[in-house]
């Protein structure tokens, strides 16, 4: 709506410029925003026409103003600022048509067809089955789920996929530690979630390896070379590598243990996904896809794309892209992570011929994806040009970096539980139990809002620090604050119903306060915000917009009556404004994982 008005002005000014410049062919006007609101809502710089007109930009602006005012033109106040032709748009004049558009489209307001017909595959989460989800995974999951929602809102067909990394040395480390120290315990016997139990043995392996290193160091100090050799040959790391070889060779006892511990982990992971509101359309498992990668590498070896080193490993020369070389198959024939990624990408395109595939993976894997995309191109897959690494920064705690092997990560289940407890305490402390239907469910919704908003308000590429207590605050730039504003407006609408107040006769000319005009502009901007978020795969654009809307409405509501305004006509019009604000909040919430609450 607002863009349409801006474009009307653009077309009008270009028409008058042709007269002033005495030319039917002129370069299109550029549209920008003035640095200050008092300078208008849209600015048209005129510097590019100075040479043709042989006039200063300010003189062109004055002539353009005189020409426009002498004929019919779109509504708005003209403001000249140096070489800029600025316009303060008549926002109140577009109020009625904006209301019809917002309320007529409802949940679909803001959606567009810019990506209609595009098939986009989005890979995210991709956990290992040797530990539970942690805070780093949560940023990945929130980002992936939100980007999927944003792309769908722009008309794309989206396939959300999850690659379960259920094989490899890291998996064998948990298995080996469990076989050595587990004494047959199970999730049922311990009352522990399966992924937590398995993760405990991953940490135990790291401790065990350090203990072994200490024994080797002690043997070296004593000069006992035979003991050093014995310890080194039976080091836990070597035993884990041997177990991987046994797994790939299909050794029955290893496969049996692998199946058991994978099931424990997956049961736990899927429970965590349900609690966090994360879902997928398709799962791939590395234990299956690595085979495709291995055969593809061997085929590439035959075709000369890859080469075999003297030690028997298969590698690729990366000098063409300014890198050294990369191992694709170890000398014992076992695969590495990039091997299975090659196979997985090819199989995915066979399953779902995508127009693009987006990998949501941390920034530390930039090298991996540069190499992967290059390899797929060298293998002759044209669609490799449509692969994209959506890189995101590290997420840490105020006290520092997390480390999985040392057991210092923030467990996802524990963090969500902590946020729920904090939300529940807030509800009880404010004596609001009677105002919510289900205290526990409301606390869970508030926790999800706190988590998702805090993780998504920072643009993906930036590192961030997650502070649980700040995230759950009901004041400031947080998810719970946005939920509260949604609940506050819902309360206003209920009061309007009690007063039999309806939006049957609204008059935008009654809205002349700065906050009212700002809200009209923000509401009109929402579709372009949704489009911008999709262009950069950046949910923080939505988050910043929602906070701006909520903050502006809060300030407005604090100073102005809605249901009990000076006149009933003004009440109806302000109610219409509140309804539109609630619509864009709800629609925006759905894009970044904030549950909507009618009361809290």
d(CA 83, CA 277): 52
Contact predicate 573/127, CB 8 Å: no
d(CA 534, CA 118): 13
Contact predicate 159/281, CB 8 Å: yes
- Grouping H, G, I as helix, E, B as strand and the rest as coil, residue 358 is strand
Full 3-state SS string of 21-81? HCCCCCCCCCCECCCCHHHCCEEEECHHHHHHHCCCHHHHHHHHHHHHHCCCCCCEEEEEE
d(CA 155, CA 116): 4
Contacts of 59 (CB under 8 A, 6+ apart): 53
d(CA 598, CA 488): 8
Predicted confidence at residue 408, as pLDDT, reads 54
Predicted confidence at residue 402, as pLDDT, reads 45
d(CA 100, CA 108): 13
Return the number of other C-beta atoms located less than 10 Å from residue 63's C-beta. Answer: 18
Specify burial of residue 505 (Cβ count, 10 A radius: 0-12, 13-18, 19+). exposed
Instruction: Kindly compute the dihedral angle of the four CA atoms of residues 534, 535, 538, 541, in this order, to the nearest 10 degrees.
Output: -80
d(CA 285, CA 347): 12
Looking only at Cα atoms, what is the longest distance across the chain? 101
Strand-pairing partners, residue 357, are: 121, 387
Q: Each residue's pLDDT tens digit in the chain (600 positions)?
A: 778 889 999 999 999 999 999 888 889 999 999 998 889 989 999 999 999 899 999 999 999 999 999 998 888 999 999 999 999 988 887 899 999 999 999 999 999 999 999 999 999 999 999 999 999 999 999 999 999 999 999 999 999 999 999 988 999 999 999 999 999 999 999 999 999 999 999 999 999 999 999 999 999 999 999 999 999 999 999 999 999 999 989 999 999 999 999 999 999 999 999 999 999 999 999 888 888 888 999 999 999 999 999 999 999 999 999 999 999 999 988 888 899 899 999 999 999 999 999 999 999 999 999 999 999 999 999 999 999 999 999 998 787 554 544 445 688 999 999 999 999 998 998 888 888 889 999 999 999 999 999 999 999 999 999 998 899 999 999 999 999 999 999 999 999 999 999 998 899 999 999 999 999 999 999 999 999 999 999 999 999 999 999 999 999 999 999 999 999 999 999 999 999 999 999 999 999 999 999 998
Output the CA torsion sign for 3, 546, 449, 459: positive
Closest CA to 60 of 100, 29, 97: 29
Predicted confidence at residue 400, as pLDDT, reads 53
Helix 568-591, helix 479-498: angle, nearest 10: 140
Which fold is adopted by the domain 419-591?
Answer: Isoleucyl-tRNA Synthetase; Domain 1 (1.10.730)
Q: Same CATH fold, 124-286+351-396 and 2-90?
A: no
Which fold is adopted by the domain 2-90?
Answer: Gyrase A; domain 2 (3.30.1360)
- Could you give the count of Cα atoms lying within 13 Å of 187 in the half-sphere of its Cβ? 17
Which fold is adopted by the domain 124-286+351-396?
Answer: Rossmann fold (3.40.50)
Q: Which two tokens stand for residue 419?
A: 């946020």
Contact predicate 95/231, CB 8 Å: no
Q: Residue 116 CA to chain centroid, in angstroms?
A: 21
pTM: 0.89
d(CA 563, CA 371): 61
Contact predicate 305/264, CB 8 Å: no
- Grouping H, G, I as helix, E, B as strand and the rest as coil, residue 59 is helix
- Could you give the count of Cα atoms lying within 13 Å of 211 in the half-sphere of its Cβ? 8
The position carrying tokens 């944003």 is: 150
d(CA 544, CA 458): 9
The length of the chain is 600
Domains of the chain by residue range: 2-90, 124-286+351-396, 419-591
DSSP code at position 400: B
d(CA 323, CA 567): 72
d(CA 145, CA 165): 19
Q: Which two tokens stand for residue 544?
A: 């910043």
DSSP code at position 431: T
Contact predicate 237/209, CB 8 Å: yes
């Amino acid at each position: 709506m607002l863009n349409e008005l801006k474009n009307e002005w653009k077309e009008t000014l270009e028409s008058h410029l042709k007269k002033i410049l005495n030319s039917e062919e002129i370069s299109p006007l550029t549209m920008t925003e003035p640095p200050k609101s008092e300078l208008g809502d849209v600015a048209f710089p005129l510097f590019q026409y100075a040479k043709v007109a042989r006039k200063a930009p300010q003189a062109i602006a004055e002539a353009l103003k005189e020409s426009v005012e002498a004929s019919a033109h779109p509504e708005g106040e003209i403001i000249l600022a140096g070489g800029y032709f600025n316009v303060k748009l008549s926002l109140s004049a577009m109020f009625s048509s904006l209301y019809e558009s917002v309320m007529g489209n409802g949940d679909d307001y803001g959606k567009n067809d810019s990506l209609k017909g595009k098939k986009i595959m989005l890979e995210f989460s991709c956990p290992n089955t040797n530990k539970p989800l942690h805070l780093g995974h949560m940023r990945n999951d929130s980002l992936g789920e939100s980007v999927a929602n944003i792309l769908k809102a722009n008309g794309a067909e989206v396939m959300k996929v999850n690659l379960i990394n259920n094989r490899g040395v890291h998996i064998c480390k948990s298995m080996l530690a469990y076989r050595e120290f587990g004494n047959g315990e199970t999730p049922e016997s311990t009352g522990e979630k399966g992924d937590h139990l398995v993760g405990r043995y991953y940490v135990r392996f790291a401790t065990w390896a350090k203990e072994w290193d200490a024994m080797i160091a002690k043997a070296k100090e004593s000069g006992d070379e035979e003991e050093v050799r014995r310890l080194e040959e039976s080091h836990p790391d070597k035993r884990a590598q041997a177990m991987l070889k046994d797994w790939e060779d299909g050794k029955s006892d290893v496969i049996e243990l692998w199946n058991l511990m994978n099931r424990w982990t997956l049961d736990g992971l899927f429970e965590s996904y349900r609690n966090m509101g994360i879902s997928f359309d398709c799962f791939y498992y590395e234990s299956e896809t690595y085979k495709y990668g291995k055969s593809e590498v061997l085929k590439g070896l035959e075709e000369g794309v890859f080469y075999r080193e003297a030690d028997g490993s298969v590698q690729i020369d990366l000098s063409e892209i300014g890198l050294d070389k990369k191992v694709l198959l170890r000398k014992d024939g076992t695969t590495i992570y990039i091997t299975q990624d090659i196979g997985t990408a090819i199989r995915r395109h066979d399953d779902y011929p995508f127009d693009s595939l987006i990998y949501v993976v941390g920034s530390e894997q930039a090298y991996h994806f540069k190499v992967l995309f290059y390899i797929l191109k060298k293998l002759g897959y044209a669609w490799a040009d449509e692969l994209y690494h959506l890189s995101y920064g590290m997420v840490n705690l105020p006290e520092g970096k997390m480390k999985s092997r040392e057991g210092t990560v923030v467990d996802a289940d524990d963090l969500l539980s902590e946020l729920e407890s904090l939300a529940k305490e807030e509800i009880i402390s404010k004596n609001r139990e009677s105002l919510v239907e289900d205290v526990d469910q409301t606390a869970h919704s508030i926790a999800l809002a706190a988590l998702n908003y805090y993780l998504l308000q920072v643009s993906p590429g930036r590192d961030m620090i997650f502070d649980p207590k700040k995230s759950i605050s009901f004041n400031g730039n947080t998810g719970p604050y946005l939920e509260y504003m949604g609940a506050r407006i819902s309360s206003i609408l209920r009061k309007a119903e009690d007063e039999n107040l309806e939006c049957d006769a609204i008059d935008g000319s009654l809205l002349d306060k700065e906050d009212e005009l700002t809200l009209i502009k923000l509401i009109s901007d929402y579709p372009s915000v949704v489009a911008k978020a999709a262009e950069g795969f950046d949910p923080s654009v939505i988050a910043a917009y929602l906070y701006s809307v909520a903050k502006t409405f809060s300030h407005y509501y604090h100073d102005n009556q809605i249901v009990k305004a000076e006149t009933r006509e003004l009440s109806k019009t302000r109610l219409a404004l509140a309804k539109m604000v609630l619509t864009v909040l709800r629609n925006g919430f759905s894009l970044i994982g904030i549950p909507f609450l009618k009361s809290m």
